[in-house]
Structure 1
Amino acid sequence: MNRLRNPSNGQENQNCEQAIPIGDGKVQAAMFDAQPARARVFTFGLGSFKIAALLDAVDVRDNLVSALAPGQSPIAMQELAASNFIDRDRYEHCFIPTLVDTGSEKVLFDTGFGDTGSSLLGCLQDLGLGPNDIDVVIITHGHPDHIGGLVKNGEPVFGRARYVFGAAEFTFWTEASTVREARLENRDLFRRICTGLASQATFIAPGCEVLPGITAIDAAGHSPGLLAFLVESDGHNCSSGRTPSCTMPCPSSIQSGTPILMMTKSKPSRPACAS
């Protein structure tokens, strides 16, 4: 697995040579800094809301078929990939926090890795925003690529924000004795980063409305308390406007749990929510 960090400027790509021969000459790697390899911010409107997908980082991973099409014929899937100009075996796994601007509050879903290669703060800067412009930070679940950007040098990165955690997810990582060995480092990271934010946090259950138009949905599986979120504004959705809702993260995309948008017609019940 090779991680391409700072995806907009190509500062680090472990598979790149310093010089790439093309024809009779060479194109120096520095030339690629002139233009971003891809946009790292994608924005669109949802009713009166403004939504931005923020590319924090990208992993290049092997085993395309087993990861994305388990149970399918490897030969058929490789042929399908080739016909669509996709590598037969490798694929990009993206880490994409999401920003929702309701007009009155700016709501950030997850915070990326938070390490030296993380692009989240740069993405916000591209939108003319800084960490102190964020009003609410919602954590969909407690894996490192979702909580890593909450704290830097022991201090909260989003100093003005209130935090929202799923109550079941927070309890699992801070109190449960059933964390499997492979996730013990994850548990320790969660406790180190998140427990200090509890006094500024709201703890919710599926069905709770975080803000008008943003409602939690049970998506447990990828993690014990994973939450998706139904987002609605002025009867509009994220495509044609005919089904007035979308959710993040997609419950069916449990391989990554990355906050993304999907269609849904279901509307969750709304129990009393803990504070």
Structure 2
Amino acid sequence: MRVNSFFVSSALAVSIALVGVFSSGADAATEAQVAPALAGAQVRAQAPGVYRYRVGDFQVTALSDGTVPQDLHALLTNTTPAETDGLLKNAFLSNPAEVSINAFLIDTGSRLVLVDTGSGALFGPGKGGKLLGSLKAAGYAPEQINDILLTHIHTDHSGGLVSEGQLVFPKATVHVGKPDVDLFLDPANIHGVNGYDKRYFEEAVKTVGPYVKAGKVVPFNGVTELFPGVKAIPTPGHTPGHSFYRFESKGESIEFIGDIVHVASVQFPKPKITIVYDVAPKEAAAQREKQFASAASQRELVAGAHLPFPGLGHIRAEGEGGFTFVPVDYRDRDQP
């Protein structure tokens, strides 16, 4: 043991000496070789966006379809750039704002239900289109999905339904509010309605249309129990068929609230602020105030399509007519 200790001590001494030599004798060329490696951090892609949350016996998995920058000065209405910038600054943000595109997979034990499908390829390269990667990372394949619940027929919610004209979810039944089907898929509206841009209608035909032809779209009217523990709740305004979906299990619940809010930092404190995507802006603002107040008073767990990923949390009343979003605590443990 004494011999080993001697060699260890000697080796340490030599190492320390060598470090001293190299430290003091390092020339400019060596430093130039090392410096770039330390100074130039490489840009790396995010890992697939997956977050799991338990609601009773239901497993909820938030899936990211990516994020997109939004020029709020051009998009928000019933406000001013100055008001928008002030609200963004208060949230430590600036314009343009980065907005999440979220979808949610719910395993009820008897079926796999997907709420919204992201934008697919319709926003172009680098903007959305990450849902299938997130779905795969979560351990699921598109062929496993039994039902798709569209909160409404807009590109960033229905775009992921198809790829190059083919059904991405070949075994799924699509559920959506009938007023949206009537508006966006009526051939008479293909060129737009009352100034509402024609691309919304063209894209609806591309994304939802193939499922209609395949007999896989089931529209609903009014509050509807789609299957045990799952209820559709119409919340018109943003679109005429915009709907929430409420899932209940063992005394716990969650509501998927779609586009009741687009920009959390702006529309929670000022629900009156609308966006050009609204079919009926006044109705959308009134619906937002109503639903925020309801969720706050009932302490309802909500999941939003454009809330910062994973988009799960609660709404709290704050100030005069204002609200704030409180994200759920992060969980990462093996047991529910």
Q: TM-score, normalised by structure 1?
A: 0.71
**Structure 1 residues 263, 206: CA separation in 2 closer, same or farther (over 3 Å shift)?**
farther
Q: CA RMSD in A?
A: 3.2
Given the alignment of the two structures, is residue 235 of structure 1 paired with residue 244 of structure 2, yes or no?
no
- Tell me which residue corresponds to 2:17: none
- Tell me which residue corresponds to 1:80: 90
d(CA) in 2 for partners of 1:228, 1:54: 18
Q: Identity percentage over the alignment?
A: 27
State the aligned residue count: 227
Following TM superposition, by how much is the alpha carbon of 1:126 offset from its aligned partner in structure 2, in angstroms? 0.7
- Partner secondary structure for residue 96 of structure 1: strand
- Tell me which residue corresponds to 1:139: 150
- Partner secondary structure for residue 125 of structure 1: helix
d(CA) in 2 for partners of 1:261, 1:183: 31
- Partner secondary structure for residue 169 of structure 1: helix
Q: Does the aligned pair in 2 maintain the 1:167–1:203 contact within 8 Å?
A: yes
d(CA) in 1 for partners of 2:185, 2:85: 44
- Tell me which residue corresponds to 1:150: 161
Indicate which of 40, 43, 67 corresponds to 2:52: 43
Q: Does the aligned pair in 2 maintain the 1:246–1:263 contact within 8 Å?
A: no
d(CA) in 1 for partners of 2:211, 2:103: 19
Deviations 1:37-57 (A, max 9, x none): 466111110000000111102
d(CA) in 1 for partners of 2:211, 2:131: 20
- Partner secondary structure for residue 200 of structure 2: helix
d(CA) in 1 for partners of 2:205, 2:48: 34
- Tell me which residue corresponds to 2:69: 60
d(CA) in 2 for partners of 1:218, 1:202: 15
Instruction: Trace 1:79-158 onto structure 2 (pairs within 5 A).
Output: 80-81=90-91, 86-115=92-121, 117=126, 118-158=129-169
Deviations 1:87-131 (A, max 9, x none): 343422111011111011110011111115411001111111111
**Structure 1 residues 62, 168: CA separation in 2 closer, same or farther (over 3 Å shift)?**
closer
Q: Does the aligned pair in 1 maintain the 2:229–2:248 contact within 8 Å?
A: yes
**Structure 1 residues 158, 80: CA separation in 2 closer, same or farther (over 3 Å shift)?**
same
Structure 1, unmatched stretches of 5+, are 1-23, 237-244, 265-275
- Partner secondary structure for residue 51 of structure 1: strand
Give the letter for the 1:47 counterpart.
G
- Tell me which residue corresponds to 1:196: 210
Q: Does the aligned pair in 2 maintain the 1:246–1:261 contact within 8 Å?
A: no
d(CA) in 2 for partners of 1:138, 1:219: 14
Following TM superposition, by how much is the alpha carbon of 1:76 offset from its aligned partner in structure 2, in angstroms? 5.4
- Partner secondary structure for residue 197 of structure 1: helix
**Structure 1 residues 75, 138: CA separation in 2 closer, same or farther (over 3 Å shift)?**
closer
Deviations 1:218-261 (A, max 9, x none): 1111112111111111101xxxxxxxx32112564155872755
Instruction: Trace 1:21-40 onto structure 2 (pairs within 5 A).
Output: 25=36, 27-28=39-40, 31-33=42-44, 37=46, 40=49
- Partner secondary structure for residue 169 of structure 2: coil
- Tell me which residue corresponds to 2:305: 258
- Partner secondary structure for residue 98 of structure 2: strand
Structure 2, unmatched stretches of 5+, are 1-34, 263-274, 278-303, 316-336
